[in-house]
């Protein structure tokens, strides 16, 4: 059974860096067959794909976020980490990690086969 867990900080202040770690069980993040994605859903809006890291460690980012987004991994812990710098209230959202079996850059739920439960992040002064 594949499980993804991504606990979060809950509340951040503007200009801080958001750091989220997705712990994966039941699948290896080094597998060439899987891609590990970060998506988010702001209140009242649709899902937004943020970025992805492949089994080989290559990363791709949404053009709108690439200047302040970094995705990395720790293969010894089977974890994938997101860091989003200089957050603003517009970054308030529920953040998800999700697996895909091909490189996807969409906000369509059907493109991802396993999801974390999501973590709510609020950016407010």
The alpha carbons of the chain give a radius of gyration, in whole angstroms, of 13
Angle, vertex CA 59, rays to CA 43 and CA 117, nearest 5: 35
- Residues 40-87 have pLDDT tens digits of 999 999 999 999 999 999 999 999 999 999 999 999 999 999 999 999
**36 within 8 A of 53, measured Cβ to Cβ:** yes
Q: How far apart are CA 59 and CA 52, in angstroms?
A: 6
d(CA 88, CA 18): 10
Q: Is residue 109 over pLDDT 90?
A: yes
Mapped onto helix, strand or coil, the DSSP state of residue 61 is strand
């Amino acid at each position: 059974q594949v499980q993804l867990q991504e606990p979060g900080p809950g509340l951040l202040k503007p200009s801080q860096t958001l750091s989220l770690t997705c712990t994966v069980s039941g699948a290896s993040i080094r597998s060439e067959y899987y891609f590990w994605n970060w998506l988010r859903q702001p209140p009242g809006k649709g899902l937004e794909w943020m970025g992805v890291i492949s089994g080989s460690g290559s990363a791709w980012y949404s053009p709108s976020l690439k200047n302040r987004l970094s995705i990395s991994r720790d293969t010894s812990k089977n974890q994938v980490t997101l860091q989003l710098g200089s957050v603003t209230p517009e970054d308030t959202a529920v953040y998800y990690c999700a697996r895909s079996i091909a490189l996807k850059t969409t906000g369509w739920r059907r493109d991802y086969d396993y999801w974390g439960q999501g973590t709510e992040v609020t950016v407010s002064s």
